A and B are shown apart, each in its own frame.
Chain A
Amino acid sequence: THFVPMRNYLDLAYVGIISIGTPPQEFKVIFDTGSSDLWVPSIYCSSPACATHNVFNPVRSSTCRISDRSIHLQYGSGMMSGFLAYDTVRFGGLVDVAQAFGLSLQEPGRFMEYAVFDGILGLAYPSLSLRGTIPVFDNLWKQGLISQEVFAFYLNKKEEEGSVVMFGGVDHSYYNGDLNWAPVSKQLYWQLSMDSISMNGEVIACNGGCQAIIDTGTSLLIGPPDVVLDIQKIIGANQSHSGEYLIDCDASNTLSDIVFTINGIDYPVPASAYIQEGPDSTCFSSFDSLRGSLLTADSWILGDVFLRLYFTVFDRANNRIGMAPA
């Protein structure tokens, strides 16, 4: 039995289509740089959450091999139980043979019913994956399906237009200027050392340096609770009954950029990005707290709010991350 706790999936918002099996069965998945495993629901799953998602039927796939290895993926107060299987995974013209992936049998907890995606395709380092399995990206490289050991994300604010993940090369038309590279500080997540977080030239967080994880599977800018609370006060955000931080929508025209400095390069995030417009003309802070995590107290997660501004290249060959204005 293999236990692999997972994050909550509250903010995952960019999905792509993959297929598994022969003939192919389609799934909407999150391409997630914050985890390393691939999993989708199975036809054997009896939970209500599985009834609202596409499910994989191994019997209908002539190339599927099922293992007797059970896996348990924990998320928040719920758990996904299932088993490991191997099959052909296809996306974007790539054909990844004998890819290990998880199939869920149970997805207790009603909250997964609200997820728009079927499963997750993890793109973090193999050290984060189920023991003995090779993550999708490593298999693409091992099987000679891509010519460069890189992948890159361009995330567009608009719903249907233009967002893309590219494997094996970088399309330079998606960014301005040169890519600024920063070394990966720990090969588990896509993690690097951040110098500081500042506003109006004054350091407001990460004083003396901290760690930042670049995570396509997170929507917001996540940091330590006490530090995030200070930032909420600085930008004038107040906690609502739901626990979110509300902010005057007009503040997006008046508040200054918050600058994330990484490897000596400034990456400004304007108020229009760190303030998100919700329904009924309410606006929310894009900062949230890291609670109950194994991460150290001085760690940040830079999610889609950051990635929509900066085209990002994940370079496994050189263990570095390249960023440039999208």
Chain B
Amino acid sequence: TLASRIPLTRVKSMRENLREKDKLKDYLESHPYNLAYKSDDSADPDSA
């Protein structure tokens, strides 16, 4: 079969980095948790 496997590495998250530098509170206050979402875009997709 045509299949592929990509190894992933667990790395230190931004949360852990910010927690260590005592900057997590600032981050949590200014960056509420959010998912990616798409707003309306009206430009011509064929302009490329």
- Interface of A toward B, CB cutoff 8 Å: 1-17, 28, 31-32, 34-36, 65, 67-69, 75-77, 84, 86, 91-94, 111, 114-117, 122, 124, 128-133, 144-148, 155-160, 162-169, 171, 189, 213, 215, 217, 219, 222, 241-244, 278-279, 288-295, 301
> B24-44, CB under 8 A of A: which get 1 and which 0?
110111111111111101010
B46 to chain A, nearest CB (A): 7
Check A8 against B12 for contact (C-beta < 8 Å). Answer: no
The verdict on A163 contacting B43 (CB below 8 Å), with A8-B33, A114-B17, A291-B32 known, is no
Query: Beyond A115-B14, A168-B3, A244-B24: 17 further Cβ-contacts under 8 Å?
Result: A2-B43, A7-B33, A8-B31, A13-B11, A13-B13, A14-B10, A31-B6, A31-B8, A65-B48, A92-B4, A93-B4, A130-B41, A132-B48, A159-B11, A222-B33, A242-B28, A243-B24
Q: List 22 A-B contacts (CB under 8 A).
A: A3-B39, A10-B18, A10-B27, A11-B13, A14-B8, A17-B6, A84-B48, A92-B5, A111-B27, A114-B23, A130-B38, A160-B9, A160-B10, A163-B7, A164-B5, A167-B4, A167-B6, A189-B35, A291-B32, A291-B33, A294-B37, A295-B35
A3 to B31, CA, bound (A): 18
A294, closest chain B residue (CB):
B37
B contact residues around A15 at 8 Å (CB): 8-9, 11
Check A13 against B25 for contact (C-beta < 8 Å). Answer: no
B contact residues around A162 at 8 Å (CB): 7
B28 to chain A, nearest CB (A): 4
**B33's contact among A2, A132, A293, by CB below 8 Å, is which?**
A293
- Interface of B toward A, CB cutoff 8 Å: 1-21, 23-25, 27-39, 41, 43, 45-48
